[in-house]
Amino acid sequence: MSLSVDSIRKRFVNSSPAVQYAVAIGGASTAALSVLALMYPDRAIFDEARPDIPQRSGWPLIGSFPDILKNMDTFHHFALKGFEDLARTTTMSNLGIPRNIATSDPRCVEHILKTNFSNYEKGPQFRDGMNALFGHGIFNTNGDEWKFQRKTASQIFNVKNFRDHFTDVFVDELDYMKENILDPLVDNGKTIDFHDLMFKFTLDSFVLLGFGEELGALRKDGKVPFAAAFDAAQVNTFRRMMLPYWRVREGLAKVLMPWKDSMEDHIKVVDEYAADMITKRRKEVEKGEEHNDLLSRFLKSRDDRGNLLNDQQLRDIILNFIIAGRDTTAQALSWALYQLMLNPQVEEKLVKEIYANISDEDEHNSTALYEAIKDMKYAHAVFYETLRLHPSVPANQKYALEDDIWPDGTVIKKGDYVVWSPWAQGRLEAVWGSDAKDFKPERWLNEEGELKRENQGTWPAFHAGPRVCLGQNLATLEALVALTLLLKKYRFKLVPGQDITYQVSLTLPMKNGMNVTVNQREKPEIIA
Ligand code: HEM
Instruction: Give 440-450 pLDDT, tens digit per residue.
Output: 999 999 999 99
pLDDT at residue 524 greater than cutoff 90: no
Lowest mean pLDDT segment, chosen from 274-283, 337-346, 426-435? 274-283
CB 173, CB 204: distance < 8 Å: yes
Q: Which residues contact 456 (CB under 8 A, 6 or more apart)?
A: 110, 113, 462, 463, 464, 465, 468
Looking at mean pLDDT, say which of 57-71, 111-125, 305-319, 341-355 comes out highest.
341-355
Whether 484 is in the pocket of ligand 1, judged by its Cβ within 6 Å, is: no
Strand ranges across the sheet with 117-118: 89-94, 97-103, 417-420, 396-400, 117-118
Atom 39 in ligand 1: residue holding the nearest Cα: 467
Mean pLDDT across the chain: 90
Find the mean pLDDT for residues 506-528.
88
Instruction: Give 62-103 pLDDT, tens digit per residue.
Output: 989 888 889 989 999 999 999 999 999 999 998 888 899 999
Whether 333 is in the pocket of ligand 1, judged by its Cβ within 6 Å, is: no
pLDDT at residue 516 greater than cutoff 90: yes
Instruction: Give 311-327 pLDDT, tens digit per residue.
Output: 999 999 999 999 898 99
Whether 329 is in the pocket of ligand 1, judged by its Cβ within 6 Å, is: yes
Measured in Å, residue 121 CA sits from the centre of ligand 1 at 19
Whether 156 is in the pocket of ligand 1, judged by its Cβ within 6 Å, is: no
Whether 323 is in the pocket of ligand 1, judged by its Cβ within 6 Å, is: no
Atom 18 in ligand 1: residue holding the nearest Cα: 469
Measured in Å, residue 525 CA sits from the centre of ligand 1 at 39
CB 394, CB 74: distance < 8 Å: no
Please report, in range form, the residues annotated as the binding site for heme. Answer: 469
Measure the CA–CA gap between 250 and 253, rounded to whole angstroms: 5
Taking alpha carbons only, the member of 80, 69, 100, 71 closest to residue 423 is: 80
Measure the CA–CA gap between 246 and 123, rounded to whole angstroms: 14
Helices 377-389 and 344-357: crossing angle, nearest 10°? 140
Measure the CA–CA gap between 486 and 334, rounded to whole angstroms: 12
Measured in Å, residue 471 CA sits from the centre of ligand 1 at 6
pLDDT at residue 407 greater than cutoff 80: yes
Instruction: Give 463-501 pLDDT, tens digit per residue.
Output: 999 999 999 999 999 999 999 999 999 999 999 999 999
Measure the CA–CA gap between 105 and 431, rounded to whole angstroms: 8
pLDDT at residue 138 greater than cutoff 80: yes
pLDDT at 16: 78
Whether 117 is in the pocket of ligand 1, judged by its Cβ within 6 Å, is: no
- pTM, two decimals, is 0.90
CB 203, CB 322: distance < 8 Å: yes
ipTM of this complex > 0.90? yes
